[in-house]
Amino acid sequence: MREGEVRIPSGCAIAGVFARDGRKINGRTIKDSIQIMHERSNGLGGGFAGYGIYPQYREYYAMHIFYDDMLAREECERFLDSCFDIINLSKIPTRANPNITDAPLIWRYFVTPLPHRLSDSHLDEEEYVVRSVIKLNNTIKGCYVFSCGKNMGVFKAVGYPEDVADFYRLDEYDGYAWTAHGRYPTNTPGWWGGSHPFALLDLSVVHNGEISSYDANRRAVEMYGYSCNLLTDTEVITYILDFLKRRIHLTLEEASNVIAAPFWNTISLKGEEEGRRLAYLRKMFSEFLITGPFSILVGFTGGMMALNDRLKLRSLVVGEKGRTVYFASEEAAIRIIEPELDSIRSPRGGEPVIVHLDEGVKA
Amino acid sequence: MEIINAKNMDQRVLCDLIKKERHLDIEIRSCCGQRYIGCGMKKANIYIIGTPGNALGAFLDGASIKVDGNAEDAVGDTMNRGSIYIDGSVGDAAGYAMRGGKIFIHKSAGYRAGVNMKAYKETSPLLVIGGTAGSFLGEYLAGGTIVVLGLGEKKNAPLTGYFCGNGMYNGKIYLRTTERPIGLSKHLLLNKVSQEEKEMVLRPIIEEFAEAFNEDANEILKSDFIAVEPDPENRYRELYAAI
């Protein structure tokens, strides 16, 4: 049975590294970090998101696409040709790895919307791209766009994350930020599209946990034009954050107060102004409250956010050394790549940790 | 003394090496993320340099573990006898369901420290946290003693997060502060600790803590302590849940 027909609760490993000074970090670093948490995954999914990895194509949307067969590819490329100017296309380079099998066709396209199609659509550019991607994923059988941001890319597969990094030759990519995921799905087979990160435009999410409120959240985002065609819980977090951040223009901190809203009795302990703010967000966006255990890392252009559920039912540590910030499910995953840290701490449940590039540093 | 270099060593290999070791004194160097170290061991003195992985000393049954560094989640999970000293901080759920033995943490503990600890016949577990504790400290506590010292914190700062002692029905939580835990449940009693109780109960505990981490016991004991206990007249009678 394919994932997507059954919901996946998962317990996993996450890791992230972010250079505030924009220094380029090789993909090998994030592989070394996630690899130490091998025991947290079971080989049914691993993935990475890198930011700043395509500087030569920074103006173009980088579409990473899985195809089941050539037919799906032809159909997809016909669609892309009708909506976008394709600047470059190629297979994503891979390296044979004995532990990575049954790979789909994996292609990458650098595209920009066709100007007349964009203006006819009366949409802004990002919404145009989002709708095109949702349409592709919904209508073309055997085609799945798993990454579509600018100057960033998602790389994911079925396998342990260290093998996935090797398969995608991540040592040939350098970026100012990376996230990683090792997957442990507990009741369904893994498939390539079901691995993390889940991304829309430049926003990507890796997630350790299980969303109890999944169906309520899914119904809510589907009212706003999103389509949960993978039916994995993490996918819905990506769409919620895209909606709150890009379309409603909430700050990331406000979005955190929505998805990990404090308990009413905790809100009552806050001061009047803060209490009113938190109550407003919880009431206004109640259908986006995510219950159940989670720790997530959210990557976006120029920044990264880490967040736990309000009960903090999953582990998450944040370390700093100079201008570099490290995130991981376990401290060991940080120590292995940076033994001497300036600081290390565990954020509280529902407390977002948000980092940005230093002023003047170009994403 | 046997020295094991654990750099890049698989957790199973490391745990097997420790279990088969005939020396009682074992030093593990360059430890990084290996889980279950000392699991269920009855005899041994294990000294760890680095960052041991989850469930350090789980089901510990008499052995002693000392860590120079931080530990991760579930230190001393369900331990029975023995002692664990962490010269650093720990992740979540330290001392989870332990029913005997002692855990001393020099710095802070994450969420759910001492959750569901219980006393059993003549054994009673002890968990001492030198810094502060996260939310749900001693949740569902069913026996034993938890002490939080708040070293390095401002005088009379709150030393715990939300939901301290929620659902507890036995045991005692001592806090070195006069500040009431945030949102303390109405099923719990909060009392100032008397001088006599301080000398009888807390002094030996704090002396052992100070000895392990080179702190000044008398200085620590100068401060006021408060204690959280279940209210015998108003016990929890059903599951509680936050919304």
Amino acid B202: pLDDT: 98
Taking alpha carbons only, the member of B91, B73, B224 closest to residue A345 is: B91
Q: What is the mean pLDDT of residues B106-129?
A: 96
Q: Give per-residue pLDDT as tens, B131-142.
A: 999 999 999 999
Q: Is the pLDDT of residue A8 over 50?
A: no
In A, which residues are within 8 Å of B53 by CB distance?
39, 330, 332
Q: What is the mean pLDDT of residues A188-205?
A: 89
In A, which residues are within 8 Å of B243 by CB distance?
263-264
DSSP result, B87-106? SS---SSTTTT--SSEEEES
Amino acid B243: pLDDT: 62
Q: Which of A12, A76, A83, A143 is catalytic?
A: A12
Q: Give per-residue pLDDT as tens, B25-54.
A: 999 999 999 999 999 999 999 999 999 999
Please name the member of B51, B111, B182 whose beta carbon is closest to the beta carbon of A312: B111
Q: Is the pLDDT of residue A117 over 90?
A: yes
- What secondary structure letter does DSSP report for B121? T
Q: Is the pLDDT of residue A60 over 70?
A: yes
Six-digit token string for B41: 């061991």
Cβ contact, residue pair B32, A36, below 8 Å: yes
Is A12 catalytic? The answer is: yes
Residue B242 banded pLDDT, cuts 50, 70, 90: low
In B, which residues are within 8 Å of A265 by CB distance?
183, 242
SS3 labels along A163-196: HHHHHCCHHHCEECEEEEEECCECCCCCCHHHCC
For chain B, the average pLDDT equals 95
Q: Is the pLDDT of residue B241 over 80?
A: no
DSSP result, A184-228? -BSSS---GGGSSPEEETTEEEEEEE--TTHHHHHHHHHTTT---
Cβ contact, residue pair B32, A265, below 8 Å: no
Q: What is the mean pLDDT of residues A140-151?
A: 96
Q: Give per-residue pLDDT as tens, B138-183.
A: 999 999 999 999 999 988 788 999 999 999 999 999 999 999 999 8
Whether residue B166 lies within 8 A of chain A, CB to CB, comes out as no
Q: Which residue type, as a one-letter code, is found at position B146?
A: I
Cβ contact, residue pair B182, A269, below 8 Å: yes
In B, which residues are within 8 Å of A266 by CB distance?
162, 183, 242
Please name the member of A36, A266, A348 whose beta carbon is closest to the beta carbon of B33: A36
SS3 labels along B8-47: CCCHHHHHHHHHHCCCCEEEEEEEECCCCCCCCCCCCEEE
Q: Give per-residue pLDDT as tens, A288-325.
A: 999 999 999 999 999 999 999 999 999 999 999 999 99
Q: Are B131 and B112 in contact (CB under 8 A)?
A: no
- The domains of chain B are located at 1-85, 89-234
Percentage helix, strand, coil for chain B under 3-state DSSP, each rounded to 5: 15, 30, 60
Report the Cα B214 to chain-centroid distance in Å. 18
CB-based burial label for A28 (10 Å; 0-12, 13-18, 19+):
middle
Cβ contact, residue pair B72, A349, below 8 Å: no
Q: Give the pairing of strands B226-230 and B170-175.
A: antiparallel
Phi-psi region of A55 (alpha: psi -120 to 50; beta: other; left: phi over 0): alpha
Q: What is the mean pLDDT of residues A98-120?
A: 97
Q: What is the mean pLDDT of residues A16-28?
A: 98
Amino acid B170: pLDDT: 95
Amino acid B186: pLDDT: 92
- Name the residue in chain A with its Cα closest to that of B52: A332
Whether residue B78 lies within 8 A of chain A, CB to CB, comes out as no
State the first-to-last Cα distance of chain B, in angstroms, to the nearest integer: 52
Q: Is the pLDDT of residue A9 over 80?
A: no
Q: Are B128 and B105 in contact (CB under 8 A)?
A: yes
- Name the residue in chain A with its Cα closest to that of B107: A345
Amino acid B12: pLDDT: 93
> pTM for the complete prediction?
0.95
| CATH class for the region spanning B89-234 | mainly beta
Q: Is the pLDDT of residue B236 over 90?
A: no
Please name the member of A317, A333, A349 whose beta carbon is closest to the beta carbon of B111: A349
Residue A1 banded pLDDT, cuts 50, 70, 90: very low
In A, which residues are within 8 Å of B161 by CB distance?
348
A212 or B155: whose pLDDT is higher? A212
| Host H or E run for residue B74 | none
The share of chain A scoring above pLDDT 70, in percent, equals 96
Q: Give per-residue pLDDT as tens, A120-139.
A: 999 999 999 999 999 999 99
Cβ contact, residue pair A315, B53, below 8 Å: no
Helix, coil or strand: residue A88: strand
Task: Return the bridge partners of A91, or none.
Answer: A107
